[in-house]
Amino acid sequence: MKRPSKKPTVLLTENIHPRYLALLESHARVVRPERCDEESIAELARAEQIDAIVIRTKGCVTPKVLRASPNLKVVGRHGIGVDHIDCQAAARAGIWVVNTPGASRISASEHTWAMILALARNIPNGDRAVRGDDFDIRDRVKAFQLHDKKLGIIGLGRIGGTVAHIGMRGFGMQIFYTDVVDYPAKERRLKARRLPLKKLLGTCDIITIHTPLDKSTRGMIGARQLGWMQPHAFLVNCARGKIVDLAALANALKEGTLRGAALDVFDPEVPPADHPILKSEKVVLSPHFAAQTPEANIGYGAVVEDVLRVLSGKRPLYPVAEPERTM
């Protein structure tokens, strides 16, 4: 099959910011699948002999998609998490995987603090009470003051580090963290102390998750780990739903072994209407939109620049996976 254009062909799964869509279309021929399931993406990739894929939250890049794309040179993740891209298979096939690691740092950090404050001050319950003419709620519930409390960060990367900075500078909190990476400079700047996960969960008043989803973090917080937390503590997850066992969390809240939780992500996503987590008044929920700000979406769109770098024979600025061999 002959290509209708000398430009490289890029498969785009979802819309991106107009600025970067225009940049992409000026350098490449853009094709879009009718659906974002694996079969549809593989069929289009095979038919169009694609050179690159730009993927958002829908769809996946699996070995089947890679086999259907013999000309593929780069997969660009419009975002941070690459759990729906088989990075190892891509690297073995000689394909770059790139993302935009800093795009949502501010937006996700701000949303995390919105969730923490909503929990600590009972904002959702207070809002419902006022609308129901129930001002007596202020005598029934207790607020949670943040100053000098212990903030535990799971994953002290870009977002986790920003959340910690706000907690330390803005609220005078004590900072603790756990991570597979050691951050001595951040420890000094944040006056932070690194702890093993069990010790972190048992020590801190608020635990907030900012780690990628991979084999080591999938199911990281289950019934056993929730049992290590203090009964007055809060859990916040604005990272990936599969890190936390949602059923175990709902049970801990019901049994009173955990004071409250705030979730922007879920497993499954979307949770079924009868899931107990949706019935709990101890939970603050949002629909996976911690990073859905115009500023973050512009930042995500910049993945196009790295995709075009690879297509022009240059090394990308933000590689997640590097080719083990050249195609």
DSSP 62: -
Phi then psi dihedrals of residue 162, to 5 deg: -70, -40
Buried-exposed string 54-83: b where 16+ CB fall within 10 A, e elsewhere:
bbbeebbbbebbbebbeebbbbbbbbbbbb
The yes-or-no answer on residue 288 being catalytic is yes
Helix (H) or strand (E) holding 304: helix 303-311
| CA-wise closest residue to 71 among 93, 40, 39 | 93
Catalytic residue among 56, 194, 210, 240: 240
The yes-or-no answer on residue 325 being catalytic is no
| CA-wise closest residue to 208 among 139, 120, 271, 136 | 120
Catalytic residue among 288, 305, 309, 322: 288
Catalytic residue among 110, 269, 305, 322: 269
90-95: long-range contacts, CB 8 A cutoff, minimum separation 24? 90/61, 90/66, 90/321, 91/321, 91/322, 91/323, 91/324, 92/324, 92/325, 93/66, 93/323, 93/327, 94/323, 94/324, 94/325, 94/326, 94/327, 95/66, 95/321, 95/323, 95/327
DSSP annotation string for 124-189:
HHHHHHHHTT-GGGGGT------TTPEEEEE--SHHHHHHHHHHHHHH--EEEEE-SS--HHHHHH
List active site positions.
240, 269, 288
